[in-house]
Amino acid sequence: MGTRRKAATKKTARKKAAPKKAPRTKSTAGKARSKKSARVRKSSAATGVERRIHATDEETIEQITVTARGIHQKIRKGTRPDLSLPVRSLSNVSYDGRRGYLEIGRQKKVRTLSVNTVKNFAQTLKMMALSKDLVSDNDFATKREAYYISKNWDETKFDEQIESDTVMDDIEALFSVNAINREQLRFYPEEHGGSVSGPLVVRDRDATGRVARIDCANFGSGAYSIPASVEDLEFETSADFVLLVETAGMFQRLQSHRFWESSNCILVEMKGVPARAVRRFVRRLADEGQLPVYAFVDCDPYGIANIYRTLKVGSGSSAHINKFFCVPTARFLGVTPQDIVDYELPTHPLKEVDTKRAKDALKNDPFFKSHLPWRKALEQLIQMGVRAEQQALAMWGLNYVIEEYLPAKLAQTDDFLP
Amino acid sequence: MGTRRKAATKKTARKKAAPKKAPRTKSTAGKARSKKSARVRKSSAATGVERRIHATDEETIEQITVTARGIHQKIRKGTRPDLSLPVRSLSNVSYDGRRGYLEIGRQKKVRTLSVNTVKNFAQTLKMMALSKDLVSDNDFATKREAYYISKNWDETKFDEQIESDTVMDDIEALFSVNAINREQLRFYPEEHGGSVSGPLVVRDRDATGRVARIDCANFGSGAYSIPASVEDLEFETSADFVLLVETAGMFQRLQSHRFWESSNCILVEMKGVPARAVRRFVRRLADEGQLPVYAFVDCDPYGIANIYRTLKVGSGSSAHINKFFCVPTARFLGVTPQDIVDYELPTHPLKEVDTKRAKDALKNDPFFKSHLPWRKALEQLIQMGVRAEQQALAMWGLNYVIEEYLPAKLAQTDDFLP
């Protein structure tokens, strides 16, 4: 069995309750598995300025250790230990156009060890210990795996994954003040998705340290799929901009007709609201490659107020990490409400939930409230009472989008919505 | 504007109602877009026998033309034209263990042109004409795009996508008797997904005819994503078997630890019930590379009776295409009901819907009914009243699955469920 399990066994052996032993455990401990204590990091000079705003693995381990030591010392002094966590709710979120993302405020909730909080407090510390092991072993756990690992934690095991996810979010918020995000704590989401095509070479190092050179211009009818953690990727590109596409179908069309070649762009498929890895991937391209980013989504309140808004300024519920996981320079190519008129697109009526979403955005969303062109566009959409999908352009011919719509739009990027 | 739209305009101009003209149509007709009337096909000698069981583009066009000509001649003779379509329902499906898939029977429904059927009849012919154009232009339409294209068909336009999808299914069933499938008619689903890692080189030709060489062993922490149509891919591999994995999380673990290298296999992520492209991709690997195929899914009625069953023998509702789109040689690695006992896995109780699904499989599914080991396994699962996910193995350590579970299983492939 590999070092990961040995480490866990050694660690938990000090506690009262030893973990249950796995069945059929053969003696494969000696089996060589190459692991490094921390990934080698290189500054990526390929596309210009290095703008990483996150901690190294060493700093992550250091922060976890400092936090744990603080708690340990309080206990030894006979005082009650506590953890001070940023409040993760919309009431603690603000938007400043100059910073360009939804930002978490200064409100904190203090979790003090007591009879009522002891289980949750212990779970938080166990989860931090797991994170430290993962960084040390250069491994990761999916959110689901982290939940199952706890099944060997006796009384502190989680009953449902929602509980372990919440503790994980708390820990992420705790360490986000030190510019450490969840991927660096080595907790990965299950799904990440997002396909990429275009003049881009990605250099990626896997868990064994081997470096792969991936040419996103050489995938035939397929594409490169963005991995769960993109922090260590290095880029080389000669593209002029990044074009983000909402649907798999539209991506397939642009990709297979090599639109990325004729327009010299990097095509990225969002698959609905883009996952964290997709947002971070594009953000790094935007920062390091100084590339403009344009979004091409359905014209409906979901495409605008969920997909595009989350891409550009992040989301309210994860304001503690928006600093890393959004693309403030993104602009909205279309489909705009005015496009529905100009291109005579086939539409569907807005449902009640759509109209409500649009009205909510106008009334409550700090991003839309601070941009007049967006307020006008949303009001126009509500007034028209219809929505249109990006694939609706197919009414004018399958490749109308490639031959007419996108070239016309890209000739006037200054007109894009903010 | 490209040849696709020109062709469509020319064709429809003969009819009474000319299509609406697209707005802002600039004169870009001369813009060169390299298109070929048909893809060059090569026999793929790389991994052994060529076993393609489908028609070439020329044969597809020929079959569409023959069908249309038959209808045209009947009309000229003054008789009512009709189309004879295989019945697509469970009552017309059979399973023969030797053939290895759920097979469509001989029942046909005859659709004769009448006052009541005239719209649907016309839509079927328009959809066939669209397919012929797509093959000629070496293009494709997603199911959604095909729906939107019809918005320019005046009275014969579809009101909802469910209508165009049904007509598409009918056409696919019609031509399946000539070994022509939907991808060859150039109608692609939106989503296809399925990531691949391992000792496999894929050669793929995009819509412009360029050939890409994709090395699935060189993706770092990312992976190759299977394209929507896999019929023209060529393979080279030195792998010993194909391992299909249900969840993105488990794929990520095996992929990032290069399990495909230590066990010399091709890893394929199914993401739940595998899409047609994934099934066809694996089927071609199994046939041409003579590779055994093993499935690793959650131990629950959905994993067994939906995911695995569809992979191995196809589905009842698409029996007309199971011949191409399933992998009859697949075997079930796990997680088996007995694994829950042997590996002391954390479980969740079976819900009512789970138990119903398992009982339905035992009672009605010709595949499970014909395999005693499966009947016993399903009965054991119902009797235990619990289910377990593949990621539940993480209770014994994150990499227990790599270091213990899979090696132990792969040492005894003869014990796999059929």
The encoded tokens of residue A37 equal 């204590």
Q: What is the pLDDT of residues A121-140, one digit of tens each?
A: 999 999 999 999 999 988 89
Nearest to B214 among A193, A213, A219 (CB): A219
> Residue B97 in contact with residue B370, Cβ under 8 Å?
yes
**pLDDT bucket at A192, cuts 50 / 70 / 90:** low
- Please identify which of the residues B147, B148, B294, B343 carries the catalytic annotation: B148
Q: What is the pLDDT of residue B49?
A: 32
Q: What is the pLDDT of residue A7?
A: 35
Instruction: Name the amino acid, one letter, at B289.
Output: G
Nearest CA in chain B to A160: B348
Please give the Cα distance from A200 to A280 (Å, whole number): 16
Q: What is the pLDDT of residue B2?
A: 37
Measured between beta carbons, the chain B residues lying within 8 angstroms of A8 are: 397
Whether B221 and A207 lie within 8 Å, measured CB to CB: yes
Please give the Cα distance from A28 to A26 (Å, whole number): 6
> How close is the nearest chain A Cα to the Cα of B221, in Å?
5
**E strands, A191-344, in order:** 195-197, 200-205, 211-215, 223-225, 234-237, 241-245, 265-269, 293-296, 331-334
**pLDDT bucket at A91, cuts 50 / 70 / 90:** confident
Q: What is the pLDDT of residue B44?
A: 36
Whether A258 and B389 lie within 8 Å, measured CB to CB: no
Nearest CA in chain A to B247: A190
Measured between beta carbons, the chain B residues lying within 8 angstroms of A229 are: 221
**pLDDT bucket at A54, cuts 50 / 70 / 90:** low
Range of weakest confidence among A8-22, A213-227, B334-348 = A8-22
Measured between beta carbons, the chain B residues lying within 8 angstroms of A22 are: 343, 395-397, 400, 404
User: What is the distance of C-alpha A157 from the center of its chain?
Assistant: 27
> How close is the nearest chain A Cα to the Cα of B363, in Å?
33
**pLDDT bucket at A52, cuts 50 / 70 / 90:** very low
> How close is the nearest chain B Cα to the Cα of A94, in Å?
34
Please give the Cα distance from B201 to A217 (Å, whole number): 16
> How close is the nearest chain B Cα to the Cα of A114, in Å?
28
Nearest to A220 among B214, B219, B400 (CB): B214
Q: What is the pLDDT of residue A38?
A: 27
Whether A148 is catalytic:
yes
DSSP label of A370: T
Nearest CA in chain B to A219: B212
Whether B398 and A141 lie within 8 Å, measured CB to CB: yes
Q: Can you tell me which residue has the tokens 């062109």?
A: A373
Measured between beta carbons, the chain B residues lying within 8 angstroms of A344 are: 20, 23
Q: Which residues of A98-110 are buried (b: 16+ CB within 10 A; e: fewer)?
A: eebbbbbeeeeee
> Residue B136 in contact with residue B61, Cβ under 8 Å?
yes
Nearest to A398 among B145, B205, B393 (CB): B145
Nearest CA in chain B to A393: B148
> Does the structure show a pLDDT above 80 at A102?
yes
- Please identify which of the residues A101, A148, A302, A343 carries the catalytic annotation: A148
Nearest to B342 among A23, A212, A249 (CB): A23
| Mean pLDDT value of segment A325-333 | 95
* A vs B: CB pairs below 8 A: 266
Please give the Cα distance from B349 to B246 (Å, whole number): 20
Nearest to A8 among B344, B397, B402 (CB): B397
Nearest to A397 among B5, B208, B214 (CB): B5
Which residue ranges of chain B lie beneath pLDDT 70?
1-20, 23-54, 192-193, 206-208
Whether B214 and A218 lie within 8 Å, measured CB to CB: yes
H-run or E-run covering B66: helix B57-76
Nearest CA in chain A to B133: A398
Whether B225 and A229 lie within 8 Å, measured CB to CB: no
Q: What is the pLDDT of residues A129-187, one digit of tens each?
A: 999 999 998 889 989 999 999 999 999 999 999 999 999 999 988 898 888 888 899 99
> How close is the nearest chain B Cα to the Cα of A206, in Å?
5
> Does the structure show a pLDDT above 50 at A108?
yes
Q: Which residues of B246-273 are buried (b: 16+ CB within 10 A; e: fewer)?
A: bbbbbbbbbbbbbbbeebebbbbbbbbb
User: What is the distance of C-alpha B297 from the center of its chain?
Assistant: 18
- Rounded to two decimals, the ipTM of the complex is 0.78
Q: What is the pLDDT of residues B164-185, one digit of tens each?
A: 999 999 999 889 888 888 889 9
DSSP label of B16: S
Measured between beta carbons, the chain A residues lying within 8 angstroms of B400 are: 1, 5, 22
